Amino acid sequence: MAPRPADLVTPRARLGLIIPSSNRLSEPQIRHFAPPGLGVHVTRLRMTGPWHRPISALHDDIKVAAGALADSKCDAIVFHCTGGAMEEGPETEARVVELIAQETGAVALATGAAIVAALKALALRRLVLMTPYRQSVNDAERAYLGQLGFEVVHDVALNLSGGNEYIHVEPARWMELSLEATAAHPADGLFLSCTNTTQIEIIADFERATGIPCVNSNQAVLWAVTRALAPKLGGWPREPRLGRLFGNA
């Protein structure tokens, strides 16, 4: 039997993700781009589609999910859903982060807050927003970002019905739409919103083509987590496949 890589048995740090049950891309993407030594563990909530509930109605479920991840010795636990995290505003999302921290004692994060930290690290204020969502979800994200001092100069909502459709939008299509939108609407940066898309695959190519920084939900969460866990990971990893953000410590 071949020896098992030590990082699989005893990683330097462990990340726990709480994701919507319909999400199929966060796990493979986070694991693909995670630095050596970061173990990734996942649990799911039924919270989208026919089970849609705002996060203010999910507190008990989130505490149970966070506790289960804490049982796996996760050092950081993330409530990971962009539309859900932003739907009711920054204060509601912050309460979820507090609940996770109280329940587990781990580093607690949520997707919206990680995105905001990434936008600030890149000094981005005027944004083009691109999502697979219905327009009402984009409107909620615009409101969330507006409360925190960001301006969405233009947004594109693909108005897809849910995760089954989100995952089939090819990276080339996200690239085409992003180039069109940023050319027509000058902005400081591009925000590709959603944890269940192929958007992350275009970040480096988009930045090379335009010179415009790009932030994506899964990219921002991995950036925030690896910053928080840098002492355990033996340093903060730079990852050129994830664009300019991963050149900023």
DSSP string, 205-247: HHHHHH---EEEHHHHHHHHHHHHTHHHHTSPPP-GGG-GGGG
Looking up tokens 């899964």 gives: 218
The CA R_g of the chain, rounded to the nearest whole Å, is: 17
Q: Which two tokens stand for residue 181?
A: 């939108």
The total number of residues shown for the chain amounts to 249
Q: Answer yes or no: is pLDDT of 9 > 90.
A: no
**Which residues lie across from 129 on neighbouring strands?**
155, 191
Both tokens of 114, joined, read 């990680």
Q: Reduced to 3 states, what is the DSSP secondary structure of residue 31?
A: helix
**DSSP single-letter state for residue 199:** G
pLDDT in tens, 10-39: 899 999 999 999 999 999 999 999 999 999
Q: Does pLDDT of 247 surpass 70?
A: yes
Residue 91 has a CB neighbour count (10 Å cut-off) of 8
Query: Which tokens hold the place of 207?
Result: 């930045």
Backbone angles phi, psi at 141, to 5 degrees: -70, -40
Q: How confident is the model at residue 5 (pLDDT cuts 50, 70, 90)?
A: low
- For the chain, the helix, strand and coil percentages under 3-state DSSP, each to the nearest 5: 50, 20, 30
- Give yes or no for residue 186 having a pLDDT over 80: yes
Give tens-digit pLDDT for 36-76: 999 999 999 998 878 888 899 999 999 999 999 999 999 99
pLDDT of residue 3: 45
How many Å apart are CA 75 and CA 228, to the nearest integer? 10
Question: Which residues are 135's β-sheet partners?
Answer: none
Cα separation of 114 and 224, whole Å? 6
Residue in the structure block whose two tokens are 């990434």: 118
Q: What whole-number distance in Å separates Cα of residue 225 and Cα of residue 203? A: 19
